[in-house]
Structure 1
């Protein structure tokens, strides 16, 4: 199962996210659930860098991606960053709705 954890502060700002595990939906190379989650997570990190110029401190290994989200001093950049991250959360939720046996999304507040 893929476990996705989104950490927010009291104001709702996303502080970090982590994606861990393998879906086990199908054999390696044919697992559409794993491919979808990977595309969303890596695509979001790449979109943030391309569209905002912010390079997230992301760690990636086999079956694991995580990032701490740096606060941006420029309000406009921070808003774009958070919008892209919220989009990622929505996409993860959509996959979890359809493939709940294979993907779980948890949100934590700190």
Structure 2
């Protein structure tokens, strides 16, 4: 199962997200849940760096169970464009969870 944790400050500002695990909803290369989550998270990081010009701390480990940790620095937390991209990620993950609850668990902190 994929576990996605979105961390907020004061219930408003997203300061980090962490994605762990694998969906195992299909054969390797055919797992649409894993593919959807991967596209959303990688696109979010790319958008933060390329479009919002932020420099989030990114940790990835695909070999040991699947892991992506992304954290914004203190100076980047109030960037409106960055927050918009992160809220978009939340919407996408919520949609996937609604349709594939056996394969993904989203936690908002």
TM-score (norm 1): 0.90
Query: Does residue 48 in structure 1 map to residue 48 in structure 2?
Result: yes
**How far apart are 1:8 and its partner, in Å?**
0.6
Q: CA RMSD in A?
A: 1.5
- 1:2 aligned onto 2:2: yes
Aligned length: 106
Sort the Cα spacing of 1:9 and 1:28 in 2 relative to 1 into closer, same or farther, 3 A: same
1:21-78, Cα deviation, whole Å (9 max, x unpaired) = 0001001111010000000001100011111111211101111101111233696xx0
The gaps in structure 1 that reach 5 residues or longer are none
Q: 1:29 to 1:13 in 2, by over 3 A?
A: same
The structure-2 alpha-carbon separation of the partners of 1:74 and 1:45, relative to structure 1 and needing over 3 Å to count, comes to: closer
CA distance 1:85–1:3, change in 2 (3 Å): same
Of residues 38, 61, 71, the one that matches 1:68 is 71
Counterpart CA distance in 2 for 1:61 and 1:74 is: 25
Moved over 6 A (4+): none
Per the alignment, residue 38 of structure 1 pairs with 38
Q: What is the SS of the residue equivalent to 2:74?
A: coil
For structure 2, the residue ranges without an aligned partner over 5 or more in a row are none
